[in-house]
Amino acid sequence: MPGVHATLLNVSHRTKRRLAPVRLIPGQPAPMRMMQGHTELVSAVAFFKNGRWVVTGSWDRTVQIWDMKKGALVGEPFKGHNNWVQSVAISPDDERFASCGYDKTVIIWDVKRQQKVFDPLMKHTDTVFSVCFSPDGKKLASGSGDKTVVLWDAETGAVIATLDGHRDWVLSVAFSPDGLKLASGSSDCTIRVWSADNAEQLFEIDAHQQSVTSVVWWSDGQQLVSASWDSTVKFWDSYNGDQIGPPCTGHTDSICSLIINSSNSIIATASDDRTVRLWSTKTHQQIGHALKHTACAWCVSNSPNGELLASGDDEGKVLLWSVQDALELCGASELNPSYNSFFVHRSKAKLGRHLYLEALHDAEKVQTVCHCSSICADITNA
C-alpha cells in the first residue's frame, strides 16, 4: 500500500517535535553557524570536495546548496521532486549530484547549470531511501522500499542491474572505495555485500536487532560500519562479515545517519535523541561532548579534511560544527589516544600546505600529551 511507511514516519517525528526544546548548556560545544532555508525536515546532507559547499535534501521537496563560510544559499533551490527528498550524493568530480525520495525517483543534477541531467530515473516501485555514486562516478546505486537495489549507468541513466535479496526496505547503499563491491543495509536487520560487476550477492550479515539505517566503508575498504534504529553502531570485517569488537552504545533513540572521517579515526552519528555524537574507531567509545540539536537530528556529514561536521534536523535547520571544539571542550586528547592521531594527522596536513602557525597549534596539542617534539621540530625547520 503506497505511502504507509511514509505516513508512519511522519506521525512519529511530528509527535517528537512537540517535546520541550533542548537548551544548550554552558561548556558544551555550540554550532559555528545555523542555516534555515528549508521549511521542512532536513533528511540529507553531503559536503563537496571543496569543503566549503554542502548540498541538503528536505521533506519540503527541494534540494539546496549552501556556502558554509557565508551561511548563504548558492543559487536557487533545485526543484523537481514531487514528494519528500530522502537522500543526496555528490559525484566524485563535484560536477553533479543525485537525489531521491518518496516520489520513487532518482534525479541527477548538473551543479553549474542547476538543472536535471536527464528526466527522473524511474525503476523503483516504492520510496527510494538512499543513493550513492561509485568512486569513478560512472555508476549510481539506489536502495528502495521495494526491497531492491538498482545499479544505474550515471552517464546515460540506463539500468545496469537490479539486486534482489532483501526482505524489507533498503535504507542505505554504499560503494566500496575501489568500486568493486556494494553494501546495502535494510529494515530486515541485515547488511548484504554485492559484487558491483555482476550483481552477485557475496555474503549477508545478520547485523542488528532493528533496521540498518546507514552503512559506510573505511577508506581502505577493510571494514564496514553500520548504524541502526536499535541505537548502536557496529563494525564488520568487509571480507567475511565477522563482527569486530563491541558495538558503540550511548544514544538513547534511533540512529538515523553515520559518517566516518578520511583517516578512519572518528565516526559521527545523528540520532532521534537530538544529538550528534563522536566515536573513536579504536576503542568504540564516545569521545567529546554530544552536539545538541533542538529537534531530532536526521543526517550528518563531515568535510573532506575532517575539521567540520554539518547536520540537519527535524525543524529544517542545518548546523555547522567544529570537530576541534568538540574535542577540546572535553579535554579529548588527554582522554583518548585516537584524538592524538587526529591532531597529528591534521598538523602534518597543514604543514604540507605550508600553514605553519596552524600546524604548530595542532602539534602543541599533541605535545602536551605524548611529547611529540618531532612534529614541532619539523615545523620549526620549515
pLDDT at 378 over 50: no
Can you give the pLDDT at residue 10? 42
For 34, 51, 199, 267, 330, the CA distances from 41, given in Å and listed in that order, are: 14, 23, 34, 23, 30
pLDDT at 365 over 60: no
Q: Check residues 110 and 328 and name the one with the higher pLDDT.
A: 110
pLDDT averaged over the chain? 86
Residue 28: band (very low, low, confident or very high) from pLDDT cuts 50, 70, 90: confident
Q: Specify the pTM.
A: 0.82
The band of 281, judged by pLDDT with boundaries at 50, 70 and 90, is: very high
Q: And the C-alpha cell for 322?
A: 567544529
C-alpha cell at 76: 536557487
Count of H helices and E strands in the chain?
Answer: 6, 29
Scanning the structure block, which residue is given the C-alpha cell 563531515?
Answer: 302
130: β partners: 143
Query: What confidence score (pLDDT) does residue 157 get?
Result: 97
Q: What average pLDDT does the segment 224-239 reach?
A: 98
Structural domains of the chain, ranges and CATH numbers in brackets: 31-328 (2.130.10.10), 335-381 (no CATH)
56 pLDDT exceeds 60? yes
Per-residue pLDDT at 33 exceeds 60: yes
Q: What's the pLDDT score for residue 357?
A: 64
SS3 percent helix, strand, coil of the chain, rounded to 5, is 15, 40, 40
Q: How far is CA 267 from the centre of its chain?
A: 10
Alpha-carbon span 377 to 360, nearest angstrom: 9
Q: What is the mean pLDDT of residues 183-207?
A: 97
- Predicted confidence (pLDDT) at residue 350 exceeds the cutoff of 80: no
> What is residue 258's predicted lDDT score, i.e. its pLDDT?
97
Cβ atoms of 119 and 104 within 8 Å: the answer is no
Q: What residues are paired with 233 via a beta bridge? A: 227, 248
At 328, the pLDDT band (50, 70, 90 cuts) reads confident
Residue 206 has pLDDT above 90, yes or no: yes
Residue 361: Cβ-neighbour burial (10 angstroms; 0-12, 13-18, 19+)? middle
**For 339-368, what is the mean pLDDT?**
60
